[in-house]
A and B are shown apart, each in its own frame.
Chain A
């Protein structure tokens, strides 16, 4: 399973954090992932409308676009985390994806609790370290 991109959008579907792990040109891939994030938002809304209970934050596989699969996770505050991975040869265990989401969630909470955090943009070196680590482990 090769991790390609992690995106976090806030309640109003505005991207507040985007990190791609491609080696390719950053400009191009950023635009591509932003586009994918926007298309996934509709799927998220649909899933949330149909959800039987709101207790499960993990939304599972949202959609596949070409060779990329997008997984979603919603936080109780309405923020969304999207994970883009390249479609693997073997089956992806949902437990593994869930674990990645939980690590991002924990990092996100630590980020929000920083008193110097300005609302809106998420800029934090500690959070970057966590995401880098995830990238290193899963996007190798």
Chain B
């Protein structure tokens, strides 16, 4: 199953993506974070905003991903984790994080990112580090939004980041509950 996801991801990356300039994307994201920092002046508020933005991106991105790859329903949460890492990240960022640190009840896992393209050239000022800015927090929002569209309510957060001096970047994903299909309230 794992190999299958990996090859699906790579094939989709090769064939079904339009390449764009990485530098443009990185600089756009960088100016976005800096502008948010200037506007809010409080780095935890910036984190929340990045997460919200990521959420909005994620709910749309997951449909895009499903359209480009012909994936079926995941058999379980561990399959979901593999899909996020090997297909989702590969398709959009061309990096494949490692899935590790499964909790005992298999409801939590970590994504270890050795190489995050958003971080290229970026150096956090000391104040940002002291106030707890997670620079690529948008990724957490994207994962949360995408999983919610797939009927899973999750909590996603950064626990370690190379920009803050840790050796790797680590995102922790926790499944809170499965959302049952809810029939939208009718207009009667």
A110, A116, A125 — which one has the most chain B CB atoms within 10 A of its CB?
A116
Q: Are B31 and A116 within 8 A (Cβ)?
A: no
A124 to B31, CA, bound (A): 17
**Chain B interface mostly:** helix
Closest A residue to B125 by beta carbon equals A116
Contact with A along B106-126 (1 / 0, CB 8 A): 000000000000001111110
Q: Are A113 and B27 within 8 A (Cβ)?
A: yes
Closest B residue to A116 by beta carbon equals B125
Asked if B33 lies at the interface with its beta carbon under 8 angstroms from chain A, I say yes
Asked if A126 lies at the interface with its beta carbon under 8 angstroms from chain B, I say yes
A113 to B24, CA, bound (A): 11
Closest B residue to A127 by beta carbon equals B123
Closest B residue to A126 by beta carbon equals B123
Asked if B12 lies at the interface with its beta carbon under 8 angstroms from chain A, I say no
B120, chain A: closest CB distance, angstroms: 8
A116 to B121, CA, bound (A): 10
Residues of B9-56 at the interface with A, using a CB-CB cut-off of 8 Å, are 26-27, 29-31, 33-34
Asked if A66 lies at the interface with its beta carbon under 8 angstroms from chain B, I say no
Asked if A55 lies at the interface with its beta carbon under 8 angstroms from chain B, I say no
A124 to B29, CA, bound (A): 20
Residues of A103-118 at the interface with B, using a CB-CB cut-off of 8 Å, are 110, 113-117
Asked if B128 lies at the interface with its beta carbon under 8 angstroms from chain A, I say yes
A122, chain B: closest CB distance, angstroms: 11
Given contacts A115-B29, A115-B31, 10 further A-B contacts (CB under 8 A): A113-B26, A114-B121, A114-B122, A115-B30, A115-B122, A116-B30, A116-B34, A116-B122, A116-B128, A126-B123
Which chain B residues have a beta carbon within 8 Å of chain A's beta carbons? 26-27, 29-31, 33-34, 120-125, 128
- Pull 5 A–B residue pairs with CB atoms less than 8 Å apart, ordered by A: A113-B27, A113-B120, A114-B30, A114-B121, A115-B31
